[in-house]
Structure 1
Amino acid sequence: MNAVDNNNMQAEEMSLGLLLDALSGNKDAPLVFHYEGRPVKPGYHITEVKAGQFSALDCGANPEAWNEIFSQLWDIEEGGRTHMPAGKFHAIVLKVSEHAQLDASAKLTFEVSDGVRPMQLYSAAMPVLRGGAVHVALSPRPASCKPRDRWLAEESRKAAACCGPSVAGSACCA
């Protein structure tokens, strides 16, 4: 039985390697994550970076397998601190990679809590340099039905192929 490889991420998902590449040119710039309509507090900590390899059955009884990296943000206020530089985040990830095998192409998930509310899962958007800081928007990561997601992606691909530029003599879908 072959597992579906979910390492082919959705367009709105970010890999660890993509984030690190985007941060590498701005190592001295403050790194500001945004979630629930606001930035993290300047005293935030990266409390954990962990790698996971998962095997599962989806709701259609299809075997699934994927790698995922989790970065835990503790959104706290801590006396007089500023947002950590992008280079410090980069260094933390490199330190973790000395002890745990981190797949740079793995899906990146952020776990965020203020230490009071339960941890929530977020996906990261592409970083944006604005006002001298690197901003990363985090979006809540909803549950999904993987068979349905694959079917929708295939239907979208078919529609794009059918309704794209026509080749001489070919008919487009009706």
Structure 2
Amino acid sequence: MKTQELFSILEENKGKTLLFEYAPTRFVGANYHITEVKHITVDAVDCGAQTDSWKETIIQLWESPLEKSKTAHMSVLKALGILNKVGKMKPYVLEAEVKFEYSNTTFHTAQLFVNDFEIQDNNLILKLAVEKTDCKAKELCGVPEKIVEAAESVVEKVESCCSPSSGCC
């Protein structure tokens, strides 16, 4: 989801409560705070020695241990107020991918993509998910698109891709 799309969804649902589902049926606690907004520029080189660059907006969520008994989640209006204040200080790139950074005692720190959203009763639920890593240079490095069933074939392909003469990093 792009940053602009997130802001549009928030604007359309100002009167609702904001919940985050970080895994199926697992929600960020009501004691969460928005503790940081990062405007990131990624300059990357993939394993095929190809360069790429893009922008990301990363919003960090943190559960306050001092508020574990809290039962009311943050309102969309309050979250929007925080994000708008940040935008006045450091403008957003509205076409940037938006991610939420989150962890708790049972879930590792991760940058989660917004896969979808849902309205249930008076709640706006942002459905977050981890995206798997991927090789961006499959074609260049000769990595097959289909999953190879035999482990020997995988090892053989990886060794040929990663050899010094392969043209990959």
Q: TM-score, normalised by structure 1?
A: 0.71
Cα 1:148/1:108, change in 2 over 3 Å? farther
Q: 2:16 aligns with which of 14, 24, 29?
A: 29
Q: Give the SS at the match of 1:126.
A: strand
Cα 1:115/1:45, change in 2 over 3 Å? farther
For structure 1, the residue ranges without an aligned partner over 5 or more in a row are 1-13, 150-154, 156-174
What percentage of aligned pairs have identical amino acids? 31
For structure 2, the residue ranges without an aligned partner over 5 or more in a row are 140-144, 146-169
CA–CA separation in structure 2 for the residues paired with 1:59 and 1:86: 41
Q: Structure 1 stretches (4+) deviating beyond 6 angstroms?
A: none
Q: Indicate the RMSD between aligned Cα atoms, in angstroms.
A: 2.3
Q: 2:119 aligns with which of 118, 129, 140?
A: 129
Tell me how many residue pairs correspond in the alignment.
Answer: 138
The residue type equivalent to 2:30 in the other structure is P
Is structure 2 residue 43 aligned with structure 1 residue 55? yes
Q: CA deviation at 1:114?
A: 2.2
Does the CA contact (< 8 Å) of 1:71 and 1:109 recur in 2? yes
Between stretches 113-122 and 68-77, larger displacement belongs to 113-122
Higher strand share: 2
Is structure 2 residue 134 aligned with structure 1 residue 147? no
Q: CA deviation at 1:25?
A: 1.5
Does the CA contact (< 8 Å) of 2:30 and 2:73 recur in 1? yes
Aligned to 2:78: 88
Q: TM-score, normalised by structure 2?
A: 0.73
Aligned to 1:72: 60
